[in-house]
A and B are shown apart, each in its own frame.
Chain A
């Protein structure tokens, strides 16, 4: 294909966008809307993922040591705990430290003034590598001689994992549905353009134009619409997300939610939006062209 042909084909492709201005506008709008929803779900999913991971990492197992053991014996259990699989770290808390924490937690409430260090047990706070295996690790901890009792909130950990899984599944489903919607809209725009130009296409075929030559302007049209939608969606998403991050940081009630900075999402988002725009544009036009090529 010669250079002047490529110039002509590109020109025809761009011309097509303006010839069906309203449909082009509609497809860009729908692509923007769909990609923004896709983007929002991806961001939401990512943020919840990070949040759940953070929360997950804070869930620990409390291991209470048999009260008949001496201080040294109690401390030596730490070695056995650390030797188990799935242990990230274990921290020894003596009776005295536990009492201080207890008093601190109850703001020096006089009702607990009679509590002595001897009433409490030495303990370990154990953080796990993988919280999905909390129950298994808890069972292993109970087997260690000198361990009197454990306290593991594995139902909570399992709950976090379930939430994470649900978010992933919903996100994938919504993203897939919206991509198909965008695909259909772009495909219809290109189909309309092709229907409008069916006589031209028939003439092109009659005088010996190759399929590639006929196809290219429509591909350019679909590609441009898809990419335009992607760029706009990305820009709007960025602005809105930045504004939301600032608002969330300002509201005290939402201090628990710390949104991930957009800079952290920049590259994956650029890649996702570009790929989605490209996919929607190229595949959308390709599928509609096929039908008209059999003139």
Chain B
């Protein structure tokens, strides 16, 4: 669960990215977070993943209080949150299988667990036949599927997708959104940060609109 209560985030340079944000995303929800560039969306993601601390207010994510989290607890918070980026952030010298296995290995998973879990996740995202390919041998849509597989492999309770369709054509974008929907159906909370108004309207999910660091809409329909 994500819970922001009256969160203010001011940067050292003086600009205030978030100005009294209050929102709550329950376990198992599928939610869009939309807003123009510079509205504070990235700051929200960084607060959720423990990259930033709020200036004031409280942020609770999967049982961790981010305003007072200890540095050594942050890796454990991040294991509960899978993050997917617009630019995929894959390791090009590793194969599809190794990219996913790497995410398990670096949190200390056993080899046996890795051998069992990676094929399952690759099948879930439809890449079971491309395990030995390298990312640069794959389409953008496939690379994003791989990024989702990597985010999922450690079984997080929540996936945060930051502009996951930003580099994809409309068809591939729709496929990725359908995949995220499927993952949500399996019980994982999904938060999609996007500019793609057409997808927001098409999927008809709860949408939080943020402008100038404030929540201006929270509901099923987006105004305008």
A8/B91 contact (C-beta < 8 A), A208-B75, A208-B79, A208-B154 known: no
Residues of A within 8 A of B151 (CB): 207
Chain B, residue nearest A200 (CB): B91
- The reply on A261 being an interface residue by CB < 8 A is no
Question: In whole angstroms, what is the CA distance A177 to B27 when docked?
Answer: 59
A199 on interface, CB distance cutoff 8 Å: yes
- Number of A residues with CB within 8 Å of any CB on chain B: 19
Please determine whether B75 and A4 come into contact, CB atoms closer than 8 angstroms: no
Using Cβ atoms and an 8 Å threshold, which residues of chain B touch A4?
A: 110-111
0 or 1 for each of A1-34: is its CB under 8 Å from B? (1 = yes): 1101100100000000000000000000000000
Min Cβ gap B53→A in Å is: 14
Question: Is there an interface contact between A8 and B105, defined as CB atoms closer than 8 Å?
Answer: yes
Which one, B49, B75, B103, B110, contacts A210 given CB within 8 A? B75
Cβ of B150 < 8 Å from any Cβ of A?
yes
Give residues of chain B (69-96) contacting chain A, Cβ–Cβ below 8 Å. 72, 75-79, 82-83, 89, 91
Q: Are A207 and B78 in contact (CB under 8 A)?
A: yes
Contact of B108 among A5, A200, A206 (CB under 8 A): A5
Chain A neighbourhood of B79, CB < 8 A: 207-208
- Establish whether residues B102 and A206, one from each chain, have CB atoms under 8 Å apart when the complex forms: no
Closest CB in chain B relative to A45 CB, distance in Å = 45
Quote the shortest CB–CB distance from B85 to chain A (angstroms): 9
Q: How far is the CA of A113 from the CA of B111 in the complex (A)?
A: 99
B107 interface contact, C-beta 8 A: yes
- Nearest residue (CB) in B for A8 is B105
Given contacts A8-B105, A209-B75, A210-B75, whether A203 and B110 have CB atoms under 8 Å apart is no
**Chain B residues closer than 8 Å to A199, beta-carbon distance:** 89, 91
A residues less than 8 Å from B91 (CB atoms): 199-200, 203
B202 within 8 A of A: no
Q: For residue B72, which residues in chain A have a CB less than 8 angstroms away from its CB? A: 210-211
Across-interface contacts of A2 in B (CB, < 8 A):
108, 110
Tell me the chain A residues, 194-213 only, with Cβ under 8 Å from chain B.
Answer: 199-200, 202-211, 213
Question: B89 and A207: CB pair below 8 A?
Answer: no
Interface residue B186 (Cβ < 8 Å from any Cβ of A) = no
One digit per residue, 1 when the CB lies within 8 angstroms of any chain B CB and 0 when it does not, for chain A 204-245 equals 111111110110000000000000000000000000000000
Interface size on B, residues (CB 8 A): 22
Closest residue of A by beta carbon distance from B147: A203
Q: B75 to A202, Cβ gap below 8 A?
A: no
A210 to B77, CA, bound (A): 11
Task: List B contacts of A214 (CB < 8 A).
Answer: 106
A206 close to B110 (CB less than 8 A): no
CB-CB under 8 A from A5, the residues of chain B are 108
In the assembled complex, the Cα of A9 lies from the Cα of B77 at a distance in Å of: 23
Contacts of A204 in B (CB 8 A): 106
B107: which of A200, A209, A211 is its contact (CB, 8 Å)?
Answer: A209
**Closest CB-CB distance, B163 to chain A, in whole Å?**
16
**Closest chain A residue, CB of each to CB of B49:** A206
Partner of A207, one of B110, B111, B150: B150
Q: Are B102 and A203 in contact (CB under 8 A)?
A: yes
Q: Counting chain A CB atoms within 10 Å of each CB, which of B82, B106, B108, B111 scores highest? A: B106
0/1 string, A243-280, CB within 8 A of B gives 1: 00000000000000000000000000000000000000
Q: Given the complex of chains A and B, what is the CA–CA distance between A203 and B84 in angstroms? A: 11
Task: Give Cα A139 to B105, complex, Å.
Answer: 78
Name A295's closest neighbour in chain B (CB-CB). B51
Q: Are A203 and B103 in contact (CB under 8 A)?
A: yes
Q: Which residue of A lies closest to B111 (CB)?
A: A4
A277 vs B89: C-alpha distance when bound (angstroms) = 36
- Which residues of A have CB within 8 Å of B75? 205, 208-211
A208 and B107 form a contact (CB under 8 A)? yes
Say yes or no: A213-B49 contact (C-beta < 8 A), given A199-B89, A208-B79. Answer: no
A207/B108 contact (C-beta < 8 A), A199-B89, A199-B91, A202-B89 known? no
Given contacts A203-B102, A203-B103, contact A208 B111 (CB under 8 A): no
- Tell me, in angstroms, the Cα distance from A207 to B106 when the chains sit together: 8
CB distance from B59 to the nearest CB of A (A): 18
List the A side residues contacting B154 at CB < 8 Å: 207-208
Output the nearest chain A residue to B81 by Cβ-Cβ distance.
Answer: A208
Q: What are 9 contact pairs spanning A and B, CB under 8 A?
A: A4-B110, A199-B89, A206-B89, A207-B150, A208-B106, A209-B106, A211-B75, A213-B107, A213-B108
16 more contacts with CB within 8 A, not counting A200-B91, A206-B83, A208-B76, are: A2-B110, A4-B111, A200-B102, A202-B89, A203-B102, A203-B106, A205-B75, A205-B78, A206-B89, A207-B78, A207-B79, A207-B82, A207-B151, A208-B75, A208-B77, A208-B106
